[in-house]
Amino acid sequence: MTQPTLFICQSCRFSEHRSENQPADGAILLEQVKAHQAESLSEIRVQPVGCLWDCGRACVVAFTAPNKPTYLFSTIPTESASDLIEFAEKYTQSKTGNVTYKQFPERLQKATIAKVPYVR
């Protein structure tokens, strides 16, 4: 079975005025998620991507797995790593991948933009 994956846009920036020599907000979020994941023993694979195409609304992430819907979250604060790991655990533990809105961590309730069904 293929492992569930959390894609994190590492080029996301909350501000266009941020210096190019500073890490992007997405890159900061990625490092924080990796650190939290090591502590939580989460089964999800964390995969950085160059862009998730919602550049005006950083930070952007997507959760996906075979035979499960894909969740896309946008406008996620960089301090949301523990929320993403919490959602990842619920997503991974669900046989169908369906996680009710009420089960989302509070920060993710404010950030959801899509749930894409899977195709059989």
Four-way CATH pick for 5-116: 3.40.50.300, 1.25.40.10, 3.40.30.10, 3.20.20.70 = 3.40.30.10
Residue 84's pLDDT is 96
Q: Whole-prediction pTM value?
A: 0.89
Instruction: Spell out the domain ranges in the chain.
Output: 5-116
Q: pLDDT tens track of the chain, all 120 residues?
A: 478 999 999 988 876 666 667 888 899 999 999 998 888 767 899 999 998 888 777 899 999 999 999 999 999 998 999 999 999 999 999 999 999 999 999 999 988 789 999 877
**CA 80, CA 73: separation in Å to the nearest integer?**
11
CA atoms within 13 A on the CB side of 96: 6
Residues 6+ apart with CB under 8 A from 90: 99, 103
Distance CA 46, CA 64 (A): 11
CA 118 to CA 97: how far, in whole Å? 10
